C-alpha cells in the first residue's frame, strides 16, 4: 500500500488534472483518447505427490495475477501494471511475494520526439548489449525505471537515449544503467537513394552501467561500458544483418570474477521468394553476461539479451531438452529452409505441401590458458572448441490431405549437453530422436478433432517417452483436451510415470477462461533461449486472461 | 526531483498536444514497427482505404497462430475479392527468430502485410496477453471484434463478421 501511495497516486493525480485541463482548453472535435487494459490470473492448487518429486506446498493454493491499465490522449500516454503474487506459483522466485504497482509510466510524443518517464522496455539492435523486456512465463521483467528520449530529427534517423535503474521483482537493483543508440536507414534520407534496390541500415549503440566497488578484496571497475555496431543490407530477395558487440572487463558472479573483456557477433542471412525461404545464422559470444548488479544470478537484472540460435520447439516431448544460451561463451551455426510444393503437383498433392527443415550446432568457443591469471582464459575471435553443447536437425511436413484432414508430421534429432545447459555434473550427453504426428479432422464447419502422437527415443537420461493427445474444439468458444506423457522407458520401473492433463477452456471475444487438472513433469521452460526451472506438480490450474 | 520533472514533462506535453493536429479517433495505439524490407512503419498509419482490416498477432514458433494464418490463407484471395478486407500480421518473434520471419512467410506463400514487433512494444500497447490474438477493425480503425486462441472454424466466423461489416 505504501508503494501504491508513493508511486502511483501522484502520477494518477497528474494524469487526472492534465486530462481535465486538456478537455477544457483543447476541445478538439477529432481528438483521440483511448483507455484500455488487460488482466491475467494463474492460480494452481498443489497436492503432495512425492513419487514425481513434486515439492510440498504449505499454502496449498498459489497464484500470479496482473492487471494493466493504459490511457492515451492525443500524444500523451500513461500506464500502470498492478501485480499480485499470493504467493508466487512454484518455480517463481520468492522475491515476487506480495503485491503492488510493478510498472508505471507517462510519455508524450510529438512528430519527432517521444519522452518517457517511469518504467520502459527498450532494445538496441538485437539486444546484445541492451534489452529490457517482460516474459511472464519466465518471471522476467527487467524494465528500466528512469527517463528515456527518442528523437527522430529526419525520416530514417532515430536517436535514443536513456538513464535508469533496473527492476527486480518489486524493488530496484543497485546499479545505474545509461545508454544511447543511433539508427540510420540510409535510403530514407540520402537524396536519390529511396528507389535504389540496395537498402542499407546502420546502427550503433553504447551502454554503460555504474555500480559501486562493493568487494573489499578486489579492485573492480565501477563503470562498465559496452558498445555495439550493426549493419543491415537488403537487395532484392536477399538480406544480410550483422551486429558485433564489445564489453570492457566486468568481473561478476557469472564469470567467476575474471577481468576478461566480452565479445559477441551475430550474423543472419536470408533469401525469400514466393514458395521458398532460406535463413543462415551464425553466432559467437564470449563472456557476454551483462547485469546491472555484478552479484546477480538466474534471470535477474540482465541488461542484455543473447538469443539462442537453435529452433524453438513447442510439441511437448520436443521441449524436454531445450537449449539455453551459454553467456560464458558459445559458437553456433544454424540453417533453415521453408518450401512449399505447389498444389496439383506430383509431390505437393491437390492442396500443396509445406516443408521446413532446420539444423543447428552450438559448441564451446576455443579457450587457451591466459597470459595473466586474472583473465581466466584467452580466446581468438571465432575460435571453436571441441565441446558440443547442442545440436539439432528437424524436418516438418505440413499437408492438407483432404478437404477435412490436415497433417503435420515432424522428426527431430537432438544432442543435448545436460550438464552444461542445466548446470549439473553427473549426466551423460543426451542424443534423442523425436517423432510427432499431429492430425486435425474438421467434423463440421466449427467442430474439429485433433490428435497428437509423439515419441522420444534416447539411450540416456530417463530413456524413452511416449505421448498422446486428443483435443475437441467447437469454434469459437470451446476447447476440451486431454493428454498423457508416459516415461515408459525409465530404467527404474517405479519411475515409469504417467503425466496426464485434462483441460477445458472457454473463450469469448477477448476473454479466455481455462481450467485443467494436471500431473505435470518438472523440467526447463524456455522462451528465446532463456529458461526457468519448472517443478513437478499435481493439482488444478485456473487461468483467466482478458483484454478490454 | 523526479516528480518535478514528470510534472514539467506532462505540462509541456499538454502544450504540445494543443498545437498538434488531432489524429483520427482509432483503437490502434501508435507504435513503431519494422517492415520485412527494413522500413520503420508507425502502426497509426494502418488502414485499408475505409474498408475493414484484420490485425493478427502471431509468431513463427506458435503452432495455433500458424494454423490460423494457414486457414485464412486458403481463402484469402476470395476474401479480398469479395469484401476488400486486408490482413496485417504482426510477428512478435524476438531477435532469436525475427530473421526467420521473412523466409517463413515467403516459404508459406502467405500474401499478408507482415510487420515485426521484436520487443513486443505494439503487443503491449494493444494489451495483448498472448498469441494468437486477432482483431477485426472497421474502416475507421475501431475494433469490431477480437479473439485469442484459435480453433479450426474461427476463420469462418470471422469472415461472417467481415461480410456483415461490408454489407456483402
Q: Check A108 against B12: CB less than 8 A apart.
A: yes
Greater confidence, A33 or B97?
B97
Chain A contact present for B129, CB below 8 A: yes
Lowest mean pLDDT among A237-241, A544-548, B8-12: B8-12
Please report which confidence band the pLDDT of residue A530 belongs to, taking 50, 70 and 90 as the band edges: confident
What dihedral angle (degrees, nearest 10) is formed by the CA atoms of A229, A231, A232, A238?
A: -130
Chain A contact present for B2, CB below 8 A: yes
Q: What pLDDT, on the 0 to 100 scale, is given for residue B2?
A: 52
Chain B contact present for A276, CB below 8 A: yes
Q: What pLDDT, on the 0 to 100 scale, is given for residue A528?
A: 65
Chain B contact present for A472, CB below 8 A: no
CB < 8 Å from A in window 14-43 of B? 14, 16-18, 20, 22-27, 29-30, 36-40
Q: What pLDDT, on the 0 to 100 scale, is given for residue A526?
A: 72
Percentage of chain B exceeding pLDDT 70: 85
User: Which of A103, A476, A507 has the most B C-beta neighbours within 10 Å, making it the best mutation to test the interface with B?
Assistant: A476
User: Which of A15, A27, A30, A32 has the most B C-beta neighbours within 10 Å, making it the best mutation to test the interface with B?
Assistant: A32
Within B38-109, residue ranges assigned H as helices are 63-83, 101-107
Residue B14 is nearest to which of A18, A31, A32, comparing CB atoms?
A18
Residue A236: CB atoms within 10 Å: 10
Contacts of B151 in chain A (CB under 8 A): 446, 448, 473-476, 478-479
Average pLDDT along chain A: 92
Following DSSP, what letter does each residue of A443-510 receive, concatenated?
-SSSEEEEEEEEEEEESSTT--EEEEEEEEEETTTEEEEEEEEE-TT-SSGGG--EEEEEEEEEEETT
Contacts of A22 in chain B (CB under 8 A): 14, 17-18
Quote the cell numbers at residue A405: 484432414
What is the rounded distance in angstroms from the CA atom of residue B167 to the CA atom of residue A25? 40
Quote the cell numbers at residue B151: 480453433
Q: Check A274 against B37: CB less than 8 A apart.
A: no
Please report which confidence band the pLDDT of residue A529 belongs to, taking 50, 70 and 90 as the band edges: low
Evaluate if residue A214 carries a pLDDT over 80: yes
Contacts of B44 in chain A (CB under 8 A): none
CB < 8 Å from B in window 66-85 of A? 68, 70, 72-77
What is the rounded distance in angstroms from the CA atom of residue A409 to the CA atom of residue A341? 15
Q: Give per-residue pLDDT as tens, A368-404.
A: 999 988 999 999 999 999 999 999 999 999 999 999 9
Contacts of B61 in chain A (CB under 8 A): 312-314
What is the rounded distance in angstroms from the CA atom of residue A340 to the CA atom of residue A317? 26
Chain B contact present for A344, CB below 8 A: no
Please report which confidence band the pLDDT of residue A31 belongs to, taking 50, 70 and 90 as the band edges: low
Quote the cell numbers at residue A482: 486431454
Smallest Cα distance from B142 to chain A, Å: 11
Contacts of A505 in chain B (CB under 8 A): 149
Residues 6+ apart with CB under 8 A from A50: none
Q: Give per-residue pLDDT as tens, B109-141.
A: 999 999 999 999 999 999 999 899 999 999 999
Chain A contact present for B44, CB below 8 A: no
Chain B contact present for A279, CB below 8 A: yes
Evaluate if residue B18 carries a pLDDT over 90: no
B113-116 and B86-91 as β-strands: parallel, antiparallel, unpaired? parallel
Chain B contact present for A25, CB below 8 A: yes
Residues 6+ apart with CB under 8 A from A215: none
Greater confidence, A281 or A218?
A281
Q: Check A448 against B7: CB less than 8 A apart.
A: no
Greater confidence, A4 or A494?
A494
Please report which confidence band the pLDDT of residue A8 belongs to, taking 50, 70 and 90 as the band edges: very low
Nearest CA in chain B to A75: B17
Contacts of B9 in chain A (CB under 8 A): 106, 108, 115, 117
Q: Give per-residue pLDDT as tens, A284-320.
A: 999 999 999 999 998 999 999 999 999 999 999 999 9
CB < 8 Å from B in window 102-121 of A? 106, 108-110, 115, 117-118, 121
Contacts of B102 in chain A (CB under 8 A): 239, 270, 272, 277
CA angle, residues A481, A482, A486, in degrees to nearest 5: 150
Q: Check B9 against A117: CB less than 8 A apart.
A: yes
Q: What is the pTM of this model?
A: 0.91
Within A338-466, residue ranges assigned H as helices are 418-422
Following DSSP, what letter does each residue of A242-297 receive, concatenated?
EEEEEE-----TTTTT----EEEEEEEEEEEETTEEEEEEEEEEES---BSSTT--
Chain B contact present for A336, CB below 8 A: yes
Percentage of chain A exceeding pLDDT 70: 94
Query: What is each CA distance from A169 to A219, A259, B168, in whole angstroms?
Result: 29, 29, 52
Chain B contact present for A410, CB below 8 A: no
Please report which confidence band the pLDDT of residue A533 belongs to, taking 50, 70 and 90 as the band edges: confident
Q: What pLDDT, on the 0 to 100 scale, is given for residue A5?
A: 46
Residue A285: CB atoms within 10 Å: 24
Residue A275 is nearest to which of B10, B40, B107, comparing CB atoms?
B107
Query: What is each CA distance from A404 to A344, A352, A401, A475, B153, in whole angstroms?
Result: 17, 14, 8, 15, 11
Chain A contact present for B102, CB below 8 A: yes
Of B49, B61, B126, B127, which is closest to residue B93 (Cα–Cα)? Answer: B61
Q: Give per-residue pLDDT as tens, A226-277.
A: 999 999 999 999 999 999 999 999 999 999 999 999 999 999 999 999 999 9
A287 close to A365: Cβ distance less than 8 angstroms: no
What is the rounded distance in angstroms from the CA atom of residue A127 to the CA atom of residue A222? 22
Of A224, A244, A233, which is closest to residue A126 (Cα–Cα)? Answer: A244
Q: Check A201 against B100: CB less than 8 A apart.
A: no
Residue A454, burial from CB neighbour count under 10 angstroms (0-12, 13-18, 19+): buried
Quote the cell numbers at residue B123: 503487443
Residue B22 is nearest to which of A31, A36, A548, comparing CB atoms?
A31
Residue A490: CB atoms within 10 Å: 16
CB < 8 Å from A in window 130-159 of B? 130, 133, 145-149, 151-154, 156-157
B113-116 and A353-365 as β-strands: parallel, antiparallel, unpaired? unpaired
Smallest Cα distance from B78 to chain A, Å: 16
Quote the cell numbers at residue A73: 490522449
Contacts of A34 in chain B (CB under 8 A): 27, 29
Nearest CA in chain A to B158: A476
Euclidean distance between the first and final Cα of chain B, in Å?
A: 59
Q: Give per-residue pLDDT as tens, A32-84.
A: 788 999 999 999 999 999 899 899 999 999 999 999 999 988 889 999 999 99
Contacts of A147 in chain B (CB under 8 A): 5
Which contiguous run of DSSP H or E holds residue A165? strand A157-168
Please report which confidence band the pLDDT of residue B17 belongs to, taking 50, 70 and 90 as the band edges: very low
Q: Check B127 against A70: CB less than 8 A apart.
A: yes
What is the rounded distance in angstroms from the CA atom of residue A42 to the CA atom of residue A546? 12
Evaluate if residue B57 carries a pLDDT over 50: yes
Q: What pLDDT, on the 0 to 100 scale, is given for residue A546?
A: 95
What is the rounded distance in angstroms from the CA atom of residue A541 to the CA atom of residue A481? 14
Q: What pLDDT, on the 0 to 100 scale, is given for residue A75?
A: 86
Chain A contact present for B111, CB below 8 A: no
A465-474 and A478-486 as β-strands: parallel, antiparallel, unpaired? antiparallel
User: Which of A11, A39, A75 has the most B C-beta neighbours within 10 Å, making it the best mutation to test the interface with B?
Assistant: A75
What is the rounded distance in angstroms from the CA atom of residue B136 to the CA atom of residue B162? 8
Q: Check A475 against B153: CB less than 8 A apart.
A: yes
CB-side neighbour CA atoms (13 Å) of A149: 9
Q: Give per-residue pLDDT as tens, A121-179.
A: 999 999 999 999 999 888 999 999 999 999 999 999 999 999 999 999 999 999 999 99
CB < 8 Å from B in window 125-154 of A? 125-127, 131, 133-134, 147
Mapped onto helix, strand or coil, the DSSP state of residue B47 is coil
Q: Give per-residue pLDDT as tens, A75-114.
A: 899 999 999 999 999 989 999 999 999 999 999 988 799 9
Residue A29: CB atoms within 10 Å: 6
- Residue B132: cis peptide before it, omega within 30 degrees of 0: yes
Chain A contact present for B5, CB below 8 A: yes
Evaluate if residue B21 carries a pLDDT over 60: no
What is the rounded distance in angstroms from the CA atom of residue A165 to the CA atom of residue A148? 12
Mapped onto helix, strand or coil, the DSSP state of residue A72 is strand
Chain B contact present for A249, CB below 8 A: no
- Region of A535 please: left (phi>0), alpha (psi -120 to 50) or beta: beta
Mapped onto helix, strand or coil, the DSSP state of residue A405 is strand
Following DSSP, what letter does each residue of A44-105 receive, concatenated?
EE---BGGGTBPP-TTSEEEEEEEEEEEEETTEEEEEEEEEESSPPTTS-GGG-EEEEEEEE
Amino acid at each position: 500500500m505504501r508503494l501504491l501511495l508513493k508511486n502511483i497516486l501522484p502520477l494518477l493525480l497528474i494524469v487526472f488534472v492534465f486530462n481535465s485541463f486538456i478537455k477544457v482548453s483543447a476541445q478538439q472535435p477529432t481528438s483521440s483518447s483511448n483507455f484500455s487494459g488487460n488482466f491475467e490470473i494463474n492460480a494452481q492448487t498443489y497436492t503432495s505427490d512425492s513419487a514425481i518429486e513434486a515439492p510440498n506446498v504449505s499454502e496449498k493454493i498459489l497464484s500470479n495475477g496482473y492487471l494493466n491499465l493504459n490511457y492515451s490522449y492525443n500524444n500523451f500516454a500513461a500506464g500502470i501494471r498492478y501485480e499480485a503474487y499470493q504467493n508466487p506459483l512454484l518455480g517463481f522466485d520468492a522475491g515476487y511475494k506480495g503485491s503492488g504497482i510493478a510498472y508505471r509510466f507517462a510519455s508524450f510524443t510529438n512528430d519527432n520526439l517521444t519522452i518517457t518517464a517511469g518504467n520502459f522496455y527498450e532494445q538496441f539492435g538485437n539486444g546484445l548489449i541492451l534489452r529490457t523486456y517482460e516474459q511472464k512465463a519466465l518471471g522476467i521483467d527487467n524494465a528500466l525505471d528512469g527517463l528515456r528520449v527518442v528523437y527522430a530529427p529526419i525520416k530514417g534517423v532515430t536517436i535514443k537515449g536513456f538513464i535508469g535503474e533496473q527492476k527486480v521483482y518489486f524493488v530496484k537493483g543497485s546499479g545505474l544503467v545509461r545508454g544511447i543508440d543511433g539508427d540510420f536507414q540510409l535510403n530514407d534520407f540520402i537524396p536519390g537513394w529511396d528507389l535504389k534496390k540496395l537498402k542499407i541500415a546502420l546502427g550503433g549503440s553504447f551502454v554503460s552501467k555504474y555500480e559501486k566497488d562493493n568487494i573489499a578484496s578486489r579492485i573492480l571497475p565501477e563503470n562498465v561500458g559496452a558498445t555495439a555496431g550493426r549493419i543491415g543490407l537488403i537487395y532484392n530477395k536477399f538480406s544480410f544483418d550483422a551486429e558485433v558487440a564489445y564489453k570492457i572487463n566486468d568481473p561478476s558472479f557469472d564469470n567467476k570474477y575474471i577481468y576478461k573483456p566480452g565479445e559477441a557477433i551475430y550474423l543472419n542471412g536470408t533469401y525469400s521468394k514466393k514458395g521458398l525461404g532460406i535463413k543462415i545464422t551464425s553466432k559467437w559470444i564470449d563472456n557476454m553476461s551483462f547485469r546491472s548488479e555484478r552479484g546477480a544470478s538466474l534471470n535477474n537484472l540482465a541488461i542484455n539479451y543473447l538469443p539462442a540460435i537453435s529452433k524453438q520447439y513447442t510439441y511437448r516431448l520436443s521441449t524436454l531438452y531445450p537449449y539455453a544460451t551459454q553467456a560464458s561463451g558459445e559458437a553456433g551455426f544454424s540453417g533453415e529452409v521453408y518450401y512449399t510444393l505447389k498444389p496439383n503437383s506430383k509431390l505437393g498433392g491437390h492442396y500443396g505441401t509445406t516443408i521446413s527443415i532446420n539444423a543447428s550446432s552450438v559448441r564451446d568457443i576455443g579457450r587457451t590458458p591466459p597470459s595473466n591469471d586474472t583473465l581466466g582464459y584467452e580466446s581468438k575471435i571465432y575460435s571453436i572448441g571441441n565441446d558440443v553443447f547442442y545440436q539439432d536437425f528437424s524436418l516438418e511436413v505440413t499437408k492438407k490431405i483432404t478437404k477435412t484432414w490436415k497433417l503435420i508430421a515432424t522428426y527431430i534429432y537432438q544432442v543435448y549437453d545436460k550438464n552444461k545447459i542445466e548446470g549439473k555434473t553427473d549426466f551423460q550427453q543426451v542424443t534423442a530422436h523425436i517423432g510427432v504426428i499431429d492430425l486435425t479432422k474438421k467434423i463440421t464447419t466449427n467442430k474439429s478433432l485433433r490428435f497428437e502422437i509423439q515419441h522420444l527415443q534416447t539411450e540416456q537420461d530417463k530413456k524413452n517417452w511416449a505421448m498422446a493427445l486428443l483435443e475437441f474444439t467447437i469454434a469459437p468458444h470451446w476447447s476440451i483436451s486431454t493428454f498423457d506423457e508416459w516415461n515408459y522407458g525409465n530404467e527404474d520401473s517405479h519411475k515409469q510415470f504417467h503425466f496426464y492433463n485434462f483441460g477445458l477452456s472457454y473463450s469469448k471475444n477477448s476473454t479466455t477462461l481455462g481450467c485443467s487438472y494436471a500431473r505435470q513433469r518438472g523440467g526447463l521452460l524456455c522462451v528465446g533461449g532463456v529458461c526457468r526451472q519448472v517443478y513437478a506438480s499435481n493439482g488444478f490450474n485456473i487461468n483467466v486472461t482478458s483484454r478490454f | 526531483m523526479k516528480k518535478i520533472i514528470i510534472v514539467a514533462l506532462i505540462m509541456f506535453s499538454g502544450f504540445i498536444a494543443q498545437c498538434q493536429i488531432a489524429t483520427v479517433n482509432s483503437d490502434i495505439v501508435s507504435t513503431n514497427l519494422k517492415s520485412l524490407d527494413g522500413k520503420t512503419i508507425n502502426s497509426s498509419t494502418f488502414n485499408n482505404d475505409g474498408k475493414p482490416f484484420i490485425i493478427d498477432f502471431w509468431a513463427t514458433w506458435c503452432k495455433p497462430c500458424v494454423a490460423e494464418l494457414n486457414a485464412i490463407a486458403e481463402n484469402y484471395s476470395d476474401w479480398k475479392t469479395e469484401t476488400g478486407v486486408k490482413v496485417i500480421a504482426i510477428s512478435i518473434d524476438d531477435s532469436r527468430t525475427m530473421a526467420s520471419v521473412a523466409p517463413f512467410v515467403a516459404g508459406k506463400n502467405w500474401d499478408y502485410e507482415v510487420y515485426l514487433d521484436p520487443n513486443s512494444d505494439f503487443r503491449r500497447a494493444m494489451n495483448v496477453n498472448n498469441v494468437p490474438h486477432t482483431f477485426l477493425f472497421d474502416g475507421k480503425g475501431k475494433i469490431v471484434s477480437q479473439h485469442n486462441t484459435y480453433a479450426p472454424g474461427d476463420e469462418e466466423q470471422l469472415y461472417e463478421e467481415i461480410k456483415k461489416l461490408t454489407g456483402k
